[in-house]
Structure 1
């Protein structure tokens, strides 16, 4: 069984109500639900939430929300690993079936689409991977980044060997939060995900937008309008 899990807490300090805020003609979370369903990869698409409102919207767009998260999984300290472990444990007991693959799809990545999901699964098969994690190229060279001294000194800020033109530097990638696929063995030990057997699925920067602030949301609206 292949299971999609869309984690969506009701609380958001920097952008209140973001998961059900309208992006274009539908709530933010609906973009991810529809992409998951359209991919035809999953046996079940679940939303894990502590919010009645998010649950209602999610069901309207075709996701399953069998329960609201317990309080201990709804705090700022609850981890994705905790949420996944809880849902998979419930599922295997409820359905009497073992899960083969889990895919976490963050609702804050609305421009990740069904094709991205199917491509990532195809890569998992091709590489006989235990896990696939989506990344995109870092927008700015990490060689040009560093901490500052307390007095603002830039002594040693850039290593002499890194003083190059941007185009002469090797690309560096970052997690974009859009897609995490892994086999059943990683349940309750997601901290071990970045190890042998895990491969990157590379996405473009536009599709990799991750909404955390109002500016992020505005950018996603712009990209959606002019895609």
Structure 2
């Protein structure tokens, strides 16, 4: 069985209730649920939450909620992997056999079903892979970063500061949308960022962290543009 798990706790300090807050007319949580269902990659789509309002939204849009997550797994210090393991173990206790699990973040309105399908195809194609996750390329060479010092400014990497951009190794970062992996890798706490993983590199216009209201407004603008383009096509 293939499952999608969407962690969506109720607490959020910078954007209060951001998982249930309306984004372009729908609760934020609705978007990853809809894309997971549309992708056809999953037998079950689950939302892991400690919040009754979020649980109701999840069920309204077609996801399952096994039971509310305990408070110990819903604080600011709980990692995503711990939540995924917890939900997988609960499924196993019900006698469910899971082969693949995709963790999808709740604040991913720019996610598409096509990206999930691409990740699934990559994971299937290589038996040595444990995970495929979304990533993006840094727009500026990180080797030429600058730092503030007491004297003024210094190069983060003095050996690279004078090099041409094209001569430096491209660097990437986690895009924070999804992590499609083998269930046993999740259960064994195998690290995602390792040799047994592969990046699905996304274009810049599909990548937006949503931690502040400025982030939120930019994401809404990107979403509206993408929707207009899909109508034109």
What residue is the counterpart of 1:134 in the other structure? 134
What residue is the counterpart of 1:81 in the other structure? 81
What residue is the counterpart of 2:162 in the other structure? 163
Specify every segment of 5 or more residues in structure 1 that has no aligned partner in the other structure, as ranges.
Answer: none
Q: Aligned partners of 1:86, 1:195: CA distance in 2, in Å?
A: 22
Matched, 1:175 2:174: yes
What residue is the counterpart of 2:225 in the other structure? 226
What residue is the counterpart of 1:8 in the other structure? 8
Matched, 1:216 2:212: no
Which runs of 4 or more aligned residues in structure 1 lie more than 3 Å from their structure 2 counterparts after TM superposition? 155-158, 164-170, 188-191
Specify every segment of 5 or more residues in structure 2 that has no aligned partner in the other structure, as ranges.
Answer: 227-233
What residue is the counterpart of 1:187 in the other structure? 186
SS at match of 2:135: strand
Query: Cα 1:157–1:91, aligned 2, differ >3 Å: closer, same or farther?
Result: closer
SS at match of 1:19: coil
5 Å-filtered alignment, 1:56-135, equals: 56-94=56-94, 96-128=95-127, 129-135=129-135
TM-score, length basis structure 1: 0.92
Query: Cα 1:66–1:157, aligned 2, differ >3 Å: closer, same or farther?
Result: closer
TM-score, length basis structure 2: 0.90
Deviations 1:165-221 (A, max 9, x none): 545544211001111011122234435233332111111122121211111110111
Deviations 1:79-102 (A, max 9, x none): 2122111111111111x1221011
Task: Report the RMSD for the aligned CA atoms in angstroms.
Answer: 1.7
If asked which structure has higher relative contact order (CA below 8 Å, sep 6+), I would say 1
Deviations 1:89-134 (A, max 9, x none): 111111x122101100001121011000000111111223221121
What residue is the counterpart of 2:206 in the other structure? 207
How many residues align? The count is 225
